[in-house]
Amino acid sequence: MIRSIAVGTAVAAGTVLAAHTALAGYVARRLVAPRAPKVFAPVTIEGDTVSVPATADSREPGTYGLRLDDGSHLMVGDIVRVDRDRVVRTILARPEGLGDGDAVAAWTSQNIDAPEDVGPTRHVAVPLRRGGTAAAWEIGDRGAADGRWTIHVHGLRSSRNGALRSAPATTDAGWMSLVVSYAGDEECAPADTLPSSLGTREWRDVDDAIAYAISSGAREIVLVAWSMGGTIAMLALEESPHRGTVTGLVLVAPALDWTRVVENAVAGAHLPRSIAAASMRVLGSPIGARALGLIETVDARALTWVGGHRPGPRIPTLILHSRVDPVVPFSGSEAYVERHPDAELIAFDASGHCNEANQEPERFHDAIAGFLRVLSPRANAHDGRAGVAGS
């Protein structure tokens, strides 16, 4: 009997271990998976309102977008009413010639249709060291900007349209705006077939965008980075030969500690906390990386700037982050600011991830524009160099 109990216990333990490993692999795959296809659903346009399916996203306050299946865009605003399984919202902007009636559209937080809605735009191609080019939007007047450029970096499973939400503030402040794509997103090859490396590969493409800006006359660059874009910005400031030209950072709901991000996701899924550590081990192992389709292993635990291991850049930094962000914990931004006297944190109460610009647009805009307007004299005090703070 003792032997049978021992065998049964071993089998049960093996089953539990296999299930644990499978869950860890699933979490790791979800973490780095390419962007899922847009979900299109029936909508009804009637005058200055549109009726959409009631979801957690469509019930959010603020200004959002509907991307129709023909590629056109509706900007939607306040909720007019909720009718059981439908939400009726105001239409703030619609394509010319689009009439009333039924249509099919995907809900998106991307509430700006095109860069031309922000300012004069050039569609450019950024040369990449790995070969090929990355599509980018260059917005503004180079002459009027006088060498001051911002580079907008979107987050995981997003696109340039998502990062476009910060461009009105930087353009209004008189800076050029370069809104970029990078490896693995929906525009910049290799795309779709490769998972994200959480910034450890992507930062090189953003560094190439920095080089492009410098070659185009930039003398002072601010990185405006969203979510995982924050990781990319931090890695670029550690590794880039051009980092001395980066004189400031604007971070929107930044991923500055991937252990917190992964643990938060696991807790939200009501999984054992041990799954978080196991999933990061999967990402960091050669076998796990191959299984996930990664080009190289990813040490997610090392991607943190809130402790002493990676001190972070010593340059003026503005962080905009919601206290109730469900994806990237606000506590990471708090911990970063505690260690960096050059960093300022502005807390929002926006629901959802990266919805600060959607739900409090004026406050979001004014915070970024104000930061940029006073940055140059502050940057000169730092000799224009992105030094590294002590731990």
Segment 7-47, tens digit of pLDDT: 333 333 344 455 677 888 888 888 888 777 788 999 999 99
Among 22-31, 114-123, 149-158, where is mean pLDDT lowest? Answer: 22-31
Helix/strand/coil percentages in the chain, nearest 5: 35, 25, 35
Whose CA is closest to 45, among 70, 59, 66?
A: 66
Distance between CA atoms of residues 22 and 324, nearest Å: 30
Q: Is 345 helix (H, G, I), strand (E, B) or coil?
A: strand
Give the residue from 64, 81, 108 where a domain finishes.
108
pLDDT tens by residue, 234-282 = 999 999 999 999 999 999 999 999 999 999 999 998 999 999 999 999 9
Peptide bond between residue 37 and the one before it cis (omega within 30 degrees of 0): no
User: Based on the domain organization, do 165 and 310 belong to the same domain?
Assistant: yes
Q: Which domain holds residue 88?
A: 40-108
Number of domains making up the chain: 2
Distance CA 140, CA 120 (A): 5
Tokens representing residue 292 in the block: 């996930």
Query: Alpha-carbon distance 384 to 64, whole Å?
Result: 37
* pLDDT of 388 above 60: no
Residue 372 clears pLDDT 50, i.e. is over it: yes
Q: Bigger pLDDT: 191 or 184? A: 184
Q: Are residues 149 and 235 in the same domain?
A: yes
Pair (99, 127) in one structural domain: no
Would the pLDDT of 200 be above 60? yes
How does strand 49-53 pair with strand 86-93? antiparallel
| Sole residue written with tokens 């503005």 | 318
Residues 208 and 332 both lie in one domain: yes
For the record, the structure tokens of 268 come out as: 């939200």
How far is 321 from 328, CA to CA, in rounded Å?
A: 9
Provide the pLDDT confidence category of residue 378 given band limits of 50, 70 and 90: very low
